[in-house]
Every structure is written in structure tokens, then in C-alpha cells.
Amino acid sequence: MKSFFNITLLVLMLLTAFACGGDKSVTETPPIVVPDTTKPVIVLADPTAGKTIILGATLHLQMDLSDNTELKSYKVTIAKSLKGVVTSDWAFTQTWTIPTGKKTVTINHSEITVPLTVTGNQTTTGNYDMTIVCTDLAGNENSTALTIALSK
């Protein structure tokens, strides 16, 4: 009877030891986070290089944007082609936010209007540089640039 009691006591002690703490030497490995360094992709369909836009008309923008994880925004900048010289000519800059969770998006809009006049003077015709910058959620950027022409 004494040995039965000793075995029962030993079993209870072992069960208590495992239930109360278990093996403290085992640790969980945190997940490895791989940073996103992949730039988004811009496939521009319209406008094409050298396209002529008539003063007072709207510029059609059509492109596909994609990223390996998630897109954030795209920005369009248009300025007179003078290689860094600042002028009072018409210039355009706008950023659009892409809805959360999108890895691909097709942009197809005519939201950019080329004005007939700037501060009371006719908008200067000629070549303008257009740059499109796409940013992903991680802050990676890619850009594409082309020259368009403004005409009367």
C-alpha cells in the first residue's frame, strides 16, 4: 500500500510540474519580416510621347499601376520644358490616393484641364514635361516621364 501511495504521489508531482510551468527552455521564434523593396510598375497608354493637347482641352490619362504588395498613390506633374528654369507658364501637380488593399489598378480619367490663360495671359504653347510617380505602401517609388506639346 505504501508503494502505491508513493507512485501516486510521484505521478501527481510530475503532472503538477508540467501543468504549472512546462519546459521554460523552449522559446518561440518571432516571424521573419522581409522588407518590401520592390518598386511599383507603371504602364502608360495615354498620353504618348509627343502628343499634342489643345489649349482649353482636357488631358486623357490612361495607365495600369501594379505592385507586389500594395499601391498607395500616384502623382502627375506637368511643367514647361525649360531644363530647370522657373517660369510663370502653366504648371500642374496633383496626387491621387489609391484605395487601400489594391495591388493593381487601371487609371482612366480626364481630370487635367489645360487652361487657355494663366494670370490673364494666354498659356504658352510648346513642349511640356510630364512626369508620373507611383508610390507603394512601403514608400518605394517608380516614375515615367515624357514630353507633350500644348497648341492653340
Tell me, yes or no, whether 120 lies in a domain.
yes
Tell me, yes or no, whether 117 lies in a domain.
yes
* Grid cell at residue 50: 509627343
Asked if 85 contacts 126 with a C-beta cutoff of 8 angstroms, the reply is no
Number of domains in the chain: 1
Tell me, yes or no, whether 36 lies in a domain.
no
pLDDT in tens, 93-145: 999 999 999 999 999 999 999 999 888 888 889 999 999 999 999 999 999 99
| Range in 12-21, 60-69, 89-98 with the lowest mean pLDDT | 12-21
- CA angle 147/44/59 to nearest 5° reads 60
CATH code, domain carrying 77: 2.60.40.10
The percentage of residues in the chain with a pLDDT greater than 70, rounded to a whole number, is 79
Residue type, 110: S
CA 123 – CA 141 distance, rounded (Å): 31
Domain that includes residue 73, residue range: 41-151
* Nearest alpha carbon to residue 104 among 44, 42, 147: 42
Tell me, yes or no, whether 95 lies in a domain.
yes
pLDDT of residue 33: 87
CA 143 – CA 135 distance, rounded (Å): 9
